[in-house]
Chains A and B, each alone.
Chain A
């Protein structure tokens, strides 16, 4: 069993598991932090961005000044943003049989894999995962395609040139493999390869293994996966949460008794408690608005935003913010808000029961009804006529490199009354803000990451007791900035096996058993003999038939009548020789009774010696040794075949034959 690790990002995993005869890709995350190296794509022409000076080498050589621009001491690539794909060289991706998706954030690289690697398999995911994943992809494509950029920079990627660049460009990994965003056509084609599954549904893969998605509690439709054969069980834990937010709670019990547990997608901010952060978010929002400022919340169109809107729903009246408009701007805003209300079966119990009242499960419906929350596909159109300040705007993209957020950063960045509040944990907020410096706007970092923290992981592992844990190397040591925090790492016995990008792990367990079926007529022919109470044995002669990873014992063909002719036997006609079967023996020899029997049969002068493995019975007169061990008995006598046979028959009296 092997694990091919194609992504180094612990929360955007992409691993391939070879298990029995199957090749299973676990998640297909896309590392978008690469876009932080690029200049933002403004929705309308930005004089500030277009007038940034070109970057030149220390010696004044300015041959890169078209591709690289400088802003407040940082250098950015002036080009269409590009993404860092999972490894494509480590394993032939056309051999991947299936892709299992755990949540909508972990499928963003799917079009790159399904459309460009010769992939012919099936993708499995839950319905909300697919629907919301589609929204995220649609938004991404829309953000990038609606502001076409003529320039595509590639010179800087040259290895010799990259060495000369300042950090972080200099240290960016595998820039040659970075790719532009996919198209909507590729998205549609990729999504058409997905087969929908429900929690706890058992899916047979080629008869060899069975895969099952389990609720992981992190997002709508998010799952962990069980991959099992008859005798082996691998659990794949991706983004999971034990907090009571909107999704169905995490199914922990089904993860028990795993041979291997692959653990990814823990919280990216282990020191921040989501509750405290939500409080911080609300306080800062109210403080800004009360002072007459605007609040900008860069966010994804689905996920934490549902919880934030719910908190604000409870908070705005008490904070005297009822008159402040909340705007949600995204090409998929409407679909996201509506989808969230129809996936009732994927929601937590509280929200599910609301559906039967009937009430919308999320209170944002009421916010929309009362006109407190308004949503728009983009800031063009209706929004510009409705727009009132001060206000709160939720919009993407959290990287601040594309999407409507770029416009609001340019618009509000100059006033210290305004605040940008970062809630998504995927991007470093300082790096995200770098191309907007100098910035007068207040910046608040309230990352809300509901995924498991290390305390929860340690409880989980104690509970489900896997034999082995495999995780990204980042989880096996405290974060570099907090090296003393021994609590911020996975602590289990045996210590976890760690992996890093482009590594192949041999998973530390051997398969020992295979299930075999037996045909009814063959089973009928068996004559079991009880050798111990409750244990019966029978011998069987059969042909082992193996097809589609299923093994069946069939009755042997009848022995062919010896033919008179001298025809050559064909190899396939070789039948096992059943005639010379010797009976099998079982049982043990009680030494005292055996000695008594010997005495009855006239042997005298018998001595018994205890050995490490059993006994030696010494017939001194006959100069004979009988060595009795657990699984063998030897009679050693000096060429006296008669004596040996007599003794053998006495031994056999104590044993059962069949």
Chain B
């Protein structure tokens, strides 16, 4: 502990020990505790206590019966625990109104139990519960009593303590504990409704996951099965998901859990079945009336259950231990049916179906959840007729004027995923003929969406276009369909959209289209026959004039990508391009634009000097070979584009990420210099001195004076003389390291107490 803190500590301990000076905020106590933890982890706690007797005084003081606030008591006890484990009973703390205290009390109980069961040096206590230390028996007794209670909060606390216990302790005694408490837990299931269902689910899953318990011998599987059937469908879903995630679990239980999870969707399929035939999900689960009872009477319950079910199944799908066989077809059917019901295109024959239709019509939450789920289902394929239905319902959503912007966004995402998964001809990465047919229907919809009055819609349309172009931009079928549509031209027009997010997305989309040679020369009615601006010119214009940051950032990303890909517009005169972009980016007020400028500079640097020595031995060597010419000569292009002036300026940027990035770039360059054969002696010249002087002024905040044309030799000399490592170290310190210091925390706490005291004085 540094001396400044040691000086403040006695005053703070005095405040904590004084019941008349309440601590208003327990988060600072938590922070204080964290700090003590780091101190004790770093050094001897005994020494700490010896050096700071005020701490021992505080702990002794707390033990005396008095009106101390439970927060300070909890803090002191935990502090005691940090210094040395102390055994006592703190059960009464459990019910405290402070969340920290209640949770700490619970955790403390677990730790005490665990410590007491670890036992003294002569060995752990026997596995017979009667042989357990008194302290452990008392805690178990308390838990048992709580489990028998009729008050839900008490049961919840007991269950939470047990959940933590089984989560942290995996010694053999935990099995004894479970065997002992198991009947009480099972008894909770007899109650209707099951109390503290959520905590109960947590406990059972914690027990099931515990490696210390052999599940089969403790009746756990039976309890889980029983719980699954006792909990309401809304509560059972989480348990079912947890069971299905378990590695070793009886097949029957897994089947039961999966059935519980599928029930709501089975209900939907049953309610909307056109004919009497079974529809897949129904084979394994009976769409029982309980679920139907939950689904049908209220919209809120129905929507909540369906959304949770879809989210659970979505989580389950990518897991290796997901049920096998996976009912892909019925699940696809269910997702499509739900979307149809929500969109009003479903035509259920039964009364239940019609009722469901009325509940779900236009329900955005279910639409979003079902579209997400449908997208996830694209990892697997399905029967062709169902896949056709999937594309049909997606098109319906993309077309519908009633689709909300968020629903549309999800529909675009799901469509992209399904297009990705659509079967392709082997050896050809183009879209298959069905997908191309779909694309031909999709593009007019996309066209219309790009003209939507709602900017979110235009934005997600552009994102979708960018994704598609990135993936299929090189494929003949896609190119043909896209070029036959108005989409590229509309995208170009959106570069001038009034909404900055849309402009940014349009920039990204146009960059992508242009990279793939999919930009048509614009023939806008505004400039009939006039000289058309090139896209490069247009993007530079946005970079230098757009009032919002997002479009400018997007332009920088596009430019970086273009430089990386040797885009035709860039290759013509790369140096002029880089010089122009760096000049504009260097003056940008948005630090992300400046940071991206450094990224572009780095790409240029690598292209000029060759890439850094790769860490990966299998890295592909890029076409631009490292120059064999002397380093100074190689640096000439960098000097010509004024890369160094840009980088040096960035080095003293007021935004830390920019400075860090620039530092990294210059360090990289210096590493290059070191590795270069043409090492030259540092040359002390008036040039170098004046540059260094200018940099000193820049560092001090006066960046008015430009550096002017720099010679490679001067740059090298300046680089050698700079303490870049030191600068990097300073930049790595978080900017708020002063505010986060323990000294500051102690001062703050004392200051708050002072204010409280003053207020008190005012009152009297």
Contact = CB atoms under 8 A, between A and B. Distances in A.
Interface of A: 271-273, 276-280, 282-284, 286-287, 290-292, 311, 314-315, 317-320, 323, 390, 446, 482, 484-487
Interface residues of B, number: 32
Nearest to A444: B448
A454 to B, nearest CB: 10
B357 interface: yes
Contact of B496 (A320, A446, A486): A320
A318 B498 contact: yes
A280 to B, nearest CB: 4
A307 B333 CA distance: 41
Contacts of B497: 318
A298 B349 CA distance: 38
Contact of A284 (B403, B451, B525): B451
Interface string B474-494: 000000000000100110010
Nearest to A311: B453
Contacts of B111: none
B400, B402, B454, B493 pick with most chain A CB within 10 angstroms: B402
A279 B449 CA distance: 10
Interface string B188-200: 0000000000000
B453 A485 contact: no
Contacts of A317: 498
Contacts of A276: 400-403
Contact of A282 (B346, B452, B486): B452
Given A273-B401, A484-B347, 7 more contacts: A279-B401, A280-B401, A284-B451, A314-B453, A484-B353, A486-B355, A486-B358
B486 A291 contact: yes
B452 A279 contact: yes
5 contacts: A283-B451, A290-B486, A318-B499, A485-B354, A486-B355
A283 B448 contact: yes
Nearest to B490: A290
A484 B493 contact: no
Given A272-B401, A318-B499, A292 B453 contact: no
A282, A284, A390, A487 pick with most chain B CB within 10 angstroms: A487
A278 B497 CA distance: 20
A272 B344 CA distance: 11
Contacts of B401: 272-273, 276-277, 279-280, 446
B526 interface: yes
B452 A283 contact: yes
Contact of B344 (A271, A280, A282, A287): A271
B361 interface: yes
Contacts of A282: 451-453
Contacts of B452: 279, 282-283
B358 A279 contact: no
B337 interface: no
B525 A390 contact: yes
Interface in B699-741: none
Interface string B326-369: 00000000000000000010111100011101100100000000
A280 B486 CA distance: 17
Contacts of A271: 344
A303 B403 CA distance: 26
B453 A484 contact: no
Contacts of B413: none
A487 B493 CA distance: 42
B447 interface: yes
Nearest to A491: B358
Contacts of B354: 484-486
Given A485-B357, A486-B354, A487-B361, A273 B499 contact: no
Contact of B451 (A273, A287, A484): A287
Contacts of A314: 453
Contacts of B358: 486-487
Contacts of B525: 292, 323, 390
A487 B451 contact: no
A281 to B, nearest CB: 9
Given A271-B344, A276-B402, A283-B448, A320 B453 contact: no
Given A484-B357, A485-B344, A279 B453 contact: yes
A286 B344 CA distance: 27
B402 A273 contact: yes
Contact of A283 (B453, B489, B493, B526): B453
A273 B362 CA distance: 10
A315 B457 CA distance: 14
A287 B449 CA distance: 9
Given A279-B453, A318-B497, A284 B448 contact: yes
A287 B490 CA distance: 8
Contacts of B347: 482, 484
A333 to B, nearest CB: 25
A286 B451 contact: yes
Contacts of A272: 401-402
Top 7 nearest A-B pairs (CB, nearest first) are: A276-B401, A286-B451, A280-B401, A276-B402, A283-B451, A318-B498, A487-B358
